[in-house]
Amino acid sequence: MTKPASNLQIDSSRLWDTIHTTAQFGATPKGGVRRLTLGPEDKQVRDWFRAACENAGLDVQVDGLGNMFALRRGRDMSKPPLGLGSHLDTQPTGGKFDGILGTLAALEVIRTLNDAGIETELPLCVTNWTNEEGSRYAPAMMGSAAFVGDFTVDDILGRKDAAGISVAEALDSIGYRGDLPVGAQPFSGFLELHIEQGPILEAEGKTIGVVENGQGVLWYDGRITGFESHAGSTPMNLRRDALATLSEIVLAIEAIAVELGNAVGTVGEAVIASPSRNVIPGEIAFTIDARSADAAILAQLDERIRAAAAGIAAKRKVEVTLDLVWRKEPTHFDKTLVGAVESAANALGYANRRITSGAGHDACNLNAKVPTAMIFVPCKDGVSHNELEDATQTDCASGANVLLHTVLSLAGVAK
Amino acid sequence: MTKPASNLQIDSSRLWDTIHTTAQFGATPKGGVRRLTLGPEDKQVRDWFRAACENAGLDVQVDGLGNMFALRRGRDMSKPPLGLGSHLDTQPTGGKFDGILGTLAALEVIRTLNDAGIETELPLCVTNWTNEEGSRYAPAMMGSAAFVGDFTVDDILGRKDAAGISVAEALDSIGYRGDLPVGAQPFSGFLELHIEQGPILEAEGKTIGVVENGQGVLWYDGRITGFESHAGSTPMNLRRDALATLSEIVLAIEAIAVELGNAVGTVGEAVIASPSRNVIPGEIAFTIDARSADAAILAQLDERIRAAAAGIAAKRKVEVTLDLVWRKEPTHFDKTLVGAVESAANALGYANRRITSGAGHDACNLNAKVPTAMIFVPCKDGVSHNELEDATQTDCASGANVLLHTVLSLAGVAK
């Protein structure tokens, strides 16, 4: 026996148009988006999103860190809503799908239910989490991390960007410090659709990734203090070169991640103090990002990266400090919700596989407090955090359909 | 038989005071100097220097690139003057002796001759060369390079700093674009006193370095184009990491210089485009400085650095370009003048040795057009291009005395 809503499909063209409408806010020449959290372009997209939610009949609330919650009433308002969404901020040279697809597909699910006149048993709540990217403010996934209590609100409000502007000041400057207490919005479950940001689904010809796990993450701030001296007259054996030291550290991290397997390690930022072409670099600030889906490997990454840095520092007679600014253990998503995603993908006939998320997501934070699952769709060449990030209209629509039918199965539809 | 001036000594206290007076223009908290060429602090020191030269009875002229020439009349004005001097600009975090000692010791020689009422046969010309350091504008030793015809004046005037300000604009803004045609000032010879900027004299307990040679120099601008992607979800084997590429290049240059011997190699600048801690670096601009006093080794450096960069690029599937922006062959100073410096050091009883200059100097440029020699004095721990650069009053005075007596022997003193 078929449920009344079993053939329902989202409107692929409307979803695609919506994605391209929001891509105008911070559009870059190469077709990407630069929409740093809490900046003017983020305000533009937030204003647009609030209006679109209100037009769809949702009641929008904003919490004290700018997280946005758009509620659709359910038949049983005594139950917490089922959450669905992602984020609308981007990397400095980001794409138009990362986060955005998940938030706008959630809106598309609501629009589709509205058009079909379907009321769900549970209320639904479309969310936009603040500062998922972490480019302007650390930590990444800031809004959802504070939501689940990993950080206090005061701690987060006081964080500053490179220009010295605090999160509190940035929120106030765009008018998105809301009244809702952070963490107060209840959820009965949470679903996030996202592009894979990796190459696996595309390589295997799958349409849907049923996300089982998320990688654990280590973030370090590093500093190397060698000694500045003349590049022409300082013999090679008397140098204390900060950049040569960093070079060994970068290659050591690469080798450690390869050797451990099921791990990645990256130095993403490195700034030489007072650089000059004929001066040996004396001081460098840098960052490390290391990840694994396996808790034991994550612990080994931490140990071996620290040991490598210390050994290189001793050999080169320079000082190296590593400050662990964020550590997150691997995520294991809720088995029931993961099963619901898989059933929806199978029912819709989409080729799918279980997968681990290489990137961190708001859903990984949410999972600590709320049963959570994620849905992945392929992205071109596995590329993300890049203006060339791309996904097909068909894959985006397929992901949104899996989101729709997972929602229908979890939130309950009237017979 | 002793010449009348054979016991003449410069005024050590006056030289020391003069050095510390000019160190105020651009003084840094750690006791160094930040006096970038043609900036406001450079104007301050130039104005001070012009006034001091005029007070010493010298006639100051400025050429079209801001090179300053302060003439003391000789008995035979039909002969070109003997030049002596160095530069007054510094590195971004430089010291108070590099270049400055040579310019102010030249002034001190003039003051000493004035006090003793000594007239020389040849006129003398104290010089301050523009932009020896090369930090704000490439090439280094810009003023003296254009003076000897290595670059056209128009080429140099059009060079821009990181803020887009041309040399012409910078000269005009501080009022130091003079009327004297560049290269017009004749010299019968040129002498430059300088701190060693290396550790050899100190290590061997020598007071004076009699500089025979100067290292040849290769300067490259490099660019690495890999591919930006997500640090969490891009597997290690699918990365095209620009920073890991740079790291291999840095360590390869280090290894090549060590292996060749009589060579140094340094990456002094490296800037990641759009850095973010969770993005694999996609693009890096960097510089290489490689030197040797041996022409054959310099040629091998060029060949091996290029081959290493190409090999690393191919292995990592990234693009690496190296643009040779400056090449200078090793310098061999004038045997007669080098001998005169050595004789003066011996006559004064200073422990001395023949030495190669690790750093480039205006004297290396001058040598192509004018018989030239250099005098080195030790600096603490061999440190230069650093706020901690230091030299003793005694060593500075000894160097100035060698300069004085080399001038007396070459310029001719009335019997």
- Residue B152 forms part of a structural domain: yes
- Residue A83 forms part of a structural domain: yes
Q: Is B385 flagged in the annotation as binding?
A: yes
Q: How far apart are CA A348 and CA A352, in angstroms?
A: 11
Nearest to B272 by CA among A271, A252, A253: A271
Give residue-wise pLDDT tens across range B249-271.
999 999 999 999 999 999 999 99
Whether residues A35 and A152 share a domain: the answer is yes
Closest Cβ opposite residue B91 in set A246, A279, A289? A279
Subunit contact A264:B93, Cβ cutoff 8 A: no
- Residue B342 forms part of a structural domain: yes
* A358 inside 8 A of chain B by CB: yes
Number of Cβ within 10 Å of residue A348's Cβ equals 17
Whether residues B153 and B245 share a domain: the answer is no
- In order of B62, B67, B69, B200, B298, the CA distances from B180 in angstroms are 6, 9, 10, 39, 36
Looking at every residue in chain B, the average pLDDT score rounds to 95
Residue A139: cis peptide before it, omega within 30 degrees of 0: yes
Whether residues B228 and B159 share a domain: the answer is no
Q: Is A361 flagged in the annotation as binding?
A: no
Residue type present at position A306: R
CA angle at B330 for the pair B386 and B69, rounded to the nearest 5°: 65
Cα torsion through B121, B123, B126, B127, rounded to 10: -130
Nearest to A264 by CA among B231, B248, B278: B231
Average pLDDT over residues A237-265: 97
Residue A122 CB-half CA count within 13 A: 21
Give residue-wise pLDDT tens across range A307-316.
999 999 999 9
Whether residues A209 and A221 share a domain: the answer is no
DSSP 3-state of A94 = strand
Give residue-wise pLDDT tens across range A99-143.
999 999 999 999 999 999 999 999 999 999 999 999 899 888 999
Q: How far apart are CA B260 and CA A408, in angstroms?
A: 71
User: Which CATH number belongs to the domain containing residue A385 in this structure?
Assistant: 3.40.630.10
* A297 inside 8 A of chain B by CB: no
Which of A328, A348, A373 is the last residue in one of the domains? A328
Average pLDDT over residues B210-237: 94
Whether residues A195 and A283 share a domain: the answer is no
Whether residues B49 and B95 share a domain: the answer is yes
- Token pair for residue B79? 């002969």
Number of Cβ within 10 Å of residue A79's Cβ equals 15
Question: Distance (Å) from the C-alpha of residue B398 to the closest C-alpha of chain A?
Answer: 21
Q: How far apart are CA B35 and CA A88, in angstroms?
A: 46
Q: How far apart are CA B263 and CA B305, in angstroms?
A: 12
Which of B312, B328, B344 is the last residue in one of the domains? B328
Q: Evaluate whether B9 touches B116 at the Cβ level (below 8 Å).
A: no
Q: Is A405 flagged in the annotation as binding?
A: no
Subunit contact A280:B268, Cβ cutoff 8 A: yes
* A131 inside 8 A of chain B by CB: no
Question: Distance (Å) from the C-alpha of residue A28 to the closest C-alpha of chain B?
Answer: 13
- Residue A7 forms part of a structural domain: no
Whether residues A176 and A272 share a domain: the answer is no
Average pLDDT over residues A61-87: 98
- Residue B398 forms part of a structural domain: yes
pLDDT of residue A415: 53
- Residue A1 forms part of a structural domain: no
- Residue A239 forms part of a structural domain: yes
- Residue B1 forms part of a structural domain: no
Closest Cβ opposite residue B360 in set A134, A232, A359? A232
pLDDT of residue A384: 81
Contacts of A365 (CB under 8 A, 6+ apart): A141, A144, A145, A147, A148, A150
Give residue-wise pLDDT tens across range B368-402.
999 999 999 999 988 887 888 999 999 999 999 99
B238 versus A281: the higher-pLDDT residue is A281
User: Residue for token digits 């692929």?
Assistant: A12
Best of B217, B238, B259, B276 to mutate (most A CBs within 10 Å, chain A): B276
* A214 inside 8 A of chain B by CB: no
DSSP 3-state of A351 = coil
Nearest CA in chain B to A36: B276
Best of A36, A197, A233 to mutate (most B CBs within 10 Å, chain B): A233
Which of A274, A299, A328 is the last residue in one of the domains? A328
Residue A387: pLDDT over 60: yes
DSSP-assigned letters across all residues of A303-335: HHHHHHHHHHHHHHT-EEEEEEEEEEPPEE--H
Interface size, chain A vs chain B, as Cβ–Cβ contacts under 8 Å: 234
pLDDT of residue B202: 94
Whether residues A199 and A96 share a domain: the answer is yes
User: Which CATH number belongs to the domain containing residue A242 in this structure?
Assistant: 3.30.70.360
pLDDT of residue A243: 98
Residue A199: pLDDT over 90: no
Q: What ipTM was predicted for this assembly?
A: 0.80
Q: How far apart are CA A144 and CA A153, in angstroms?
A: 11
* A232 inside 8 A of chain B by CB: yes
What is the number of domains present in chain B? 2
Whether residues B114 and B239 share a domain: the answer is no
Subunit contact B251:A246, Cβ cutoff 8 A: no
Subunit contact B280:A266, Cβ cutoff 8 A: yes
Question: Distance (Å) from the C-alpha of residue A291 to the closest C-alpha of chain B?
Answer: 7
Whether residues A185 and A36 share a domain: the answer is yes
Residues constituting chain B:
415
Residues 74 to 113 of B: which have CB under 8 A from any A CB? 91-93
Give residue-wise pLDDT tens across range B9-49.
999 999 999 999 999 999 999 999 999 999 999 999 999 99
Contacts of B296 (CB under 8 A, 6+ apart): none
Sign (positive or negative) of CA dihedral B28, B34, B39, B43: positive
Whether residues A316 and A337 share a domain: the answer is no
Q: Evaluate whether B372 touches B186 at the Cβ level (below 8 Å).
A: no
The confidence band for B2, taking pLDDT boundaries of 50, 70 and 90, is: very low
Q: How far apart are CA B290 and CA B253, in angstroms?
A: 8
* A254 inside 8 A of chain B by CB: yes
The confidence band for A357, taking pLDDT boundaries of 50, 70 and 90, is: very high
Which residue range is the domain that position B322 belongs to?
A: 216-328
Whether residues B374 and B344 share a domain: the answer is yes
Closest Cβ opposite residue A91 in set B268, B276, B385? B276
The confidence band for B414, taking pLDDT boundaries of 50, 70 and 90, is: low
pLDDT of residue A2: 39
Q: How far apart are CA B127 and CA B71, in angstroms?
A: 9
Secondary structure letter of residue B334 according to DSSP:
-
